[in-house]
Chain A
Amino acid sequence: MSGEGQTSSEYIKHHLQNLTFGKFPEGHEHAGEWGLAHNALEAKEMGFWAIHVDTMFWSIILGVLFLYFFRKVAKKASSGVPDGAQNFVEWIVEFVDGTVKGAFTGRNAMVAPMALTIFVWVFLINFMDLIPVDWLPQIATLIGHHVFGMDPHHVYFRVVPSTDPNATFGMALSVFALMIFYSFKIKGPLGFASELTLHPFSSDNKIVQLLFIPINFVLEFVALLAKPLSLSLRLYGNMFAGEMIFILIALMYGGGLALGIFGGVLQMGWAIFHVLIITLQAYIFMTLTIVYMDLAHQTGEEH
């Protein structure tokens, strides 16, 4: 459904641009002021000191929604016969608890709640992908145009936070920070260092071992860095690709009745398939986080 005067390429680009709030750079007419970027170039020029309003808005709204609903149930949770909501929540909690118990061997009361948060939050965030791609951006455009007096072409709005690498990297970074923290705490600085330097190559000969240390460090350090990177990129890549396909399908609605109906069928098929993907991605993110935390809690030398 490309709007009037918009080419397909513009339509796609518009859909892939976040609503960015930041400081206008030097050389801009509003240089030094804070405001919403009017186009992709401005958003890029704002550099690091900018924030994606849409990503933050939806991730916080969905997170709060999750916490509010679960808190409401948790507050009146009883060991008696559970009502529907409690049953549903318990089902998820037991599922997450079972996964944590199966994969996490350490003792840390924080891992299971974190896994629950990741699973539900990521699922809800991914779920936004199933809402037809133009609905929420159109509403945002109307609000932006009529309430805030913005140029409708400058109202960018991406509703799926997990298609924004900032969101997935942000989560993965938090997980990574916890990994480092617990590695230090459980294994101790020396234990952590030896884990990074004495594997996978080791020798009884001291001099050979000394030679191995830098090689081991490079290998292990890359492996360590790869964890948060793969964790976030997996989710980001999958959701970005999924959203892209929805956008491409949405383009078909501008191509006449036959193409439009075909697009409708395609969208439905892809959405049904996508239900599986968003759940799977949420599950993978949760499971990998649990596994990484488990690795951080392992003190043994079993590699």
Chain B
Amino acid sequence: MNINLTLIGQSITFALFVWFCYAFIWPPLVNALAERKKQIADGLAAAERGAHEQELAAKRAADQMKKAKGQAAEIIAHAQKRATEIVDEAKDDARTEAERIMAGADAEIKQEVNRAREHLRKEVVALAITGAEKVLKREIDSKAHDGALKELAEQL
């Protein structure tokens, strides 16, 4: 219970400890705490911003999806229209082509008939001439005359 030098010693020790704590312990710890607080605050803000952006992106994506769907439907309708058009065109083309071919064939047949008729006519003429010649030759011989006529008739 004696008051002695210990008093002074304790005061000095206490002052030194306080100084050490003040100089080397308190600042780094408090700085670390403040920095972490800031980091957490920043992180939370960033997370909030991210969530907001994600929401916006989802909205944008939905919009684009809708637009794309619309476009696709349009394209399909267009294509279907075009397809029917093409089919119709093809039908028309085929019909005209068929008509054209039929007309060509008709004309050819007619031509062929004409040609055959011409040929026949020529042959008939030639036969008539030959017959006439033969008749003229056989005027002397009536028997022979008959025979020639028969022949002619056969050839007709």
* Residues in chain A within 8 A of chain B (CB atoms): 16, 18, 20, 22, 43-44, 46-52, 55-56, 59-60, 63, 66-67, 70-71, 73-75, 77-80, 82, 86, 89-90, 93-94, 97, 109-110, 112-114, 116-117, 121, 161, 164-167, 169-171, 173-174, 177
Write out the residue numbers on chain B whose beta carbons fall within 8 Å of the beta carbon of A22. 4-5
Write out the residue numbers on chain B whose beta carbons fall within 8 Å of the beta carbon of A78. 32
Q: Is the CB of A74 within 8 A of B24?
A: yes
CA distance A166 to B29 in the complex (A): 32
Which residue of chain B is the closest to A17 with respect to CB atoms?
B1
Write out the residue numbers on chain A whose beta carbons fall within 8 Å of the beta carbon of B9. 51, 56, 166, 170
Binding-face segment, B15-23, B64-72, B116-124, B126-134:
B15-23
Q: Is the CB of B30 within 8 A of A173?
A: no
**14 more A-B residue pairs beyond the given contacts A77-B29, A113-B22, with a C-beta to C-beta distance below 8 A:** A47-B2, A49-B4, A50-B2, A50-B6, A70-B25, A74-B28, A78-B32, A93-B29, A93-B33, A113-B18, A161-B10, A165-B1, A170-B13, A174-B18
Q: Is the CB of B30 within 8 A of A67?
A: no
Per-residue CB proximity of B33-51 to A under 8 Å, as 1/0?
1011011000000000000
Q: Is the CB of A79 within 8 A of B7?
A: no
Q: Can you spell out 16 A-B residue pairs with CB atoms less than 8 angstroms apart?
A: A46-B2, A46-B4, A49-B4, A50-B6, A51-B4, A67-B21, A71-B24, A74-B25, A74-B26, A75-B28, A79-B35, A79-B36, A90-B29, A114-B21, A161-B10, A171-B11
- Contacts A77-B28, A174-B11 given: A116-B2 contact, CB under 8 Å? no
Number of A-B contacts (CB under 8 A): 138
CA distance A80 to B37 in the complex (A): 10
Q: Is the CB of B6 within 8 A of A114?
A: no
CA distance A97 to B22 in the complex (A): 13
Which of B1, B4, B7, B18 makes the CB contact (< 8 A) with A173?
B7
Which of A109, A110, A170 makes the CB contact (< 8 A) with B6?
A170
Write out the residue numbers on chain B whose beta carbons fall within 8 Å of the beta carbon of A71. 20, 24-25
CA distance A209 to B7 in the complex (A): 40
CA distance A114 to B21 in the complex (A): 7
Write out the residue numbers on chain B whose beta carbons fall within 8 Å of the beta carbon of A116. 21, 25-26
CB distance from B20 to the nearest CB of A (A): 5
CA distance A170 to B38 in the complex (A): 40
B8 at interface (Cβ–Cβ under 8 A)? yes
Write out the residue numbers on chain A whose beta carbons fall within 8 Å of the beta carbon of B38. 79
Q: Is the CB of A49 within 8 A of B29?
A: no
- Contacts A90-B33, A113-B25 given: A165-B4 contact, CB under 8 Å? no
Write out the residue numbers on chain A whose beta carbons fall within 8 Å of the beta carbon of B32. 77-79, 86, 90
CB distance from A166 to the nearest CB of B (A): 4
Which of A44, A77, A79, A171 makes the CB contact (< 8 A) with B2?
A44
Which of A18, A67, A79, A90 makes the CB contact (< 8 A) with B39?
A79
